[in-house]
Amino acid sequence: MSDQEIIDMLFERLETSLTAIDTKYGKSCRTIAYNIVGNEQDAEECVNDAYLAVWNSIPPEKPNPFAAFLFKILRNIAMKKHRTSQTQKRKCVFEELLAEMEPFLESEETVESQIEKRELARMIEEFLDTLSPENRAVFMRRYWFSESYAEISRAMGISENSVSTRLMRTREKMRKYLNERGVLV
Amino acid sequence: MKPEKFLEAMNEIDDKYIEEARCYKMKKRFPIKRTIAAAACVALMIGTIPLVKHFNTPAGTGTTGGVVQGTTGGEDALPTVIKLGESGKFTAYDTGEHDAVLQLNANRKEEFKIEKFANHFVDPTKEKTRKTITLNGKTWTGQYSQSVDSAFYGYDYDIYIGVDLLTWKNIFSIRCNSDTGEVIGFYAEPVCLSEISKTPISRDESYEKAVEFLKKNVIDINEYVLHQEKANDIRSGYDFSFRRVVNGVKTDDHIEIGITGAGEIYTYHLYGYKSMGNVDLSALNMTSLNQTIDAKINTIYKNNFDITSNSEITLRRLEDGTYYFYCITRVNGRTTKDGELLQDLSVLAITMD
């Protein structure tokens, strides 16, 4: 089923639209959520909350592309859940990402260096534009989709070593990029 | 900067980066031998031998047929319309062979035998597998997807044609019955469709075209009634939804069909064609059924919600053969489906099959 047909069903308030979304994107959603929250129960909850948020947003929204719209909602929900979880942090890919990024983003947090999320997002976009399509895809899969090295390796047909090397070089490049723009001091 | 802040900011970036990463495939060098063999297969496809024979025959054995006409030249035409039932009949119930003609443009036609069409693209033993073939310089990707609500939608295949893998916009897709391979639906994106040359056709003209198509292609079309319609923004056309009626009761079996302003059918889907079976509702007392449902709705919702509307009662059949009625009750602007009603009514009104 095409995304447009799903959106049409949402506009008609057909509950089968949620089934259609789950059929098409359910597996990807569960993977994204699980990689962030680290357990299946929380992941399932995040996915259900995301579907509800989509139901409540469309109409009037007419997102294109639909997948990115859905995944963004889900990622926000999952990251919020990860933040607010009172239980001991389970080992999950997201925790690995945080640990991975920390050395490259370490800086003194000063008033002058505080930056709005949106402004930072624009800088990240500009940085992404400097990357080759392959490295950009690897970077996004790791730090947006929270995929493991093995998952990225399988999806992109490159070795895990190659994934690791590309990410390390990209992180270093990003550190320099943000440093030059005064985001990191 | 905390890593969390960075990762949160990532959520604000433009969708194009997300889509690119989601769909990105590393470019691979095609093995030379396989490329030559594939080219040889395409070059040998002439005449009208069914596609099934072509794909079951190893490359280079001299088989003729299959069906591709006027394919050279590098012209990159996109499908504009698919005509079903060249032999005059297309039906969801008949498991015989059917012809489909894919009309690429005024000068080029591709003919395919529909029987087991889907099986040429996918491995039916594996869900969500994908197979890609090259035909006439066009990439056809077949992907099998199984509906969660299988009693209603049935098992079907989605075939995507000419997919833009970067943005994953399927240019033309076909839905096939997984048992028979019959085409039970298709969708063409606006890029495949003709522009409107003057003014769009009227609603009545659109409706006539829809009915004309359905009469040729749906064997029990007389059991369907118009259920909903709306204008669409696909070249200023109209969409129509028809539902099958059994003994005066609307069922979940339905047909969706969309006409563009230029009079082309851009989408057609047959849903729930397996779901009803033979159900005898001659003994059903609709007045009694309506009263029972009204009473249930009042009991459940009266004290907590303002009921704004109830939909018509619709009949559905579950995979285990249970029939039930349901209606959608809108409460304070929210839509809810009353599951409790269904079980009671299915016991009351229908004999299990």
Residue A42, pLDDT above cutoff 70:
yes
Residue with the larger pLDDT of the pair B26 and B14: B14
Q: Inform me whether the C-beta atom of residue B339 falls under 8 Å from chain A C-beta atoms.
A: no
Rounded distance between C-alpha atoms, residue A152 and residue A146, angstroms? 10
* Residue % of chain B over a pLDDT of 90: 4
Q: Check if the beta carbon of residue B51 is closer than 8 Å to that of residue B64.
A: no
Q: pLDDT category, B8, cuts 50, 70, 90?
A: confident
If you average pLDDT over every residue of chain A, what do you get? 83
Mutate to test the interface with B, among A81, A112, A114, A128 (most CBs of B within 10 A): A128
Q: Smallest CA–CA separation between B333 and chain A, in Å? A: 11
pLDDT band at B4 (very low <50, low <70, confident <90, very high): confident
Nearest by CB to residue A157, choosing from B8, B17, B26, is B26
Distance from CA of A164 to the nearest CA of B (A): 16
Q: Are strands B138-146 and B155-161 parallel, antiparallel or unpaired?
A: antiparallel
CATH of A3-84, one of 3.40.50.720, 1.10.1740.10, 3.30.420.40, 3.40.250.10: 1.10.1740.10
Q: Domain spans of chain B?
A: 3-30+78-192, 203-271, 286-349
| Cβ-Cβ contacts under 8 Å for B163 (sequence gap 6 or more) | B139, B141, B169, B170, B171
Report pLDDT for A168.
86
Enumerate residues 126 to 155 of chain B having a beta carbon within 8 A of any beta carbon in chain A.
128, 145-149, 152
Range(s) of chain A covered by CATH 1.10.10.10? 93-180
Cα nearest neighbour of A75 on chain B: B11
Q: What is the pLDDT of residues B234-291, one digit of tens each?
A: 678 999 999 888 777 777 778 889 988 888 888 888 776 555 566 666 666 767 777 7
- A73 against A16, higher pLDDT: A73
Phi, psi angle pair for B198, to nearest 5°: -120, -100
For residue B335, what is the nearest residue in chain A, using CA coordinates?
A13
Is residue B316 within 8 Å of residue B324, measured between CB atoms?
Answer: yes
Please state the rounded mean pLDDT for residues B70-80: 33
Of B1, B26, B267, the CB nearest to A105: B1
- B132-190: pLDDT as tens digits: 555 444 555 555 554 434 434 444 555 555 454 444 455 566 666 655 556 677 777 66
The tokens for B121 are 């693209």
Q: Element (H or E) spanning B243, and its range?
A: strand B238-246
Residues of A in contact with B3 (CB under 8 A): 97-102, 105
Could you report the predicted ipTM of this complex, rounded to two decimals? 0.86
Identify the residue among B5, B7, B238 best suited for mutation to test binding to A, counting A beta carbons within 10 A and taking the highest.
Answer: B7
Token digits for A158?
A: 């490159």
Residue B18, chain A, CB below 8 Å: the answer is yes
- Look at residue B305 in the predicted model and tell me its pLDDT: 54
**Could you tell me if B80 lies within 8 Å of chain A, comparing CB atoms?**
no
Backbone angles phi, psi at B123, to 5 degrees: -100, 105
Amino acid B253: pLDDT: 79
Cα angle value A72/A76/A77 (rounded, 5°): 120
**Backbone CA torsion sign across A115, A117, A121, A122:** negative
Residue A34 pLDDT > 80: yes
Q: Would you say residue A81 has pLDDT above 80? A: yes
pLDDT value at residue B25: 65
- Pick the residue from chain B with its C-alpha nearest to A78: B8
Report the alpha-carbon distance of residue B315 to residue B325 in Å, rounded: 5
pLDDT of res. B335: 42
B13 touches chain A (CB under 8 A): yes
For A121, which of B4, B12, B335 is closest by C-beta distance? B12
Q: Point out the residue among A16, A28, A124 whose CB comes nearest to the CB of B10.
A: A124
The percent of residues above 70 in pLDDT, for chain A, comes to 89
Query: Comparing B173 with B41, which gets the higher pLDDT?
Result: B173
Note the pLDDT of residue B324: 66
Which residues does A86 contact at the CB level (< 8 Å), separation at least 6? none
**Out of B147, B167, B189, closest to residue A23 by CB:** B147
Tell me what pLDDT residue A118 has: 79
- Torsion sign, CA atoms B224, B226, B229, B232: positive
Sheet containing strand B328-331, edge to edge, reads B307-310, B328-331, B334-337
Q: Among B276, B275, B266, B241, which residue's Cα sits nearest to residue B256?
A: B241
Q: Which residue has the higher pLDDT, B324 or A70?
A: A70
Q: Which of A119-128, B3-12, B181-190 has the highest mean pLDDT?
A: A119-128
- Predicted confidence at residue A184, as pLDDT, reads 64
Give Cα separations from B159 to A57, A105, B347 (angstroms): 29, 45, 40
CATH classification for the domain delimited by A93-180, as one of 1.10.3720.10, 3.60.20.10, 1.10.10.10, 3.30.70.1380: 1.10.10.10
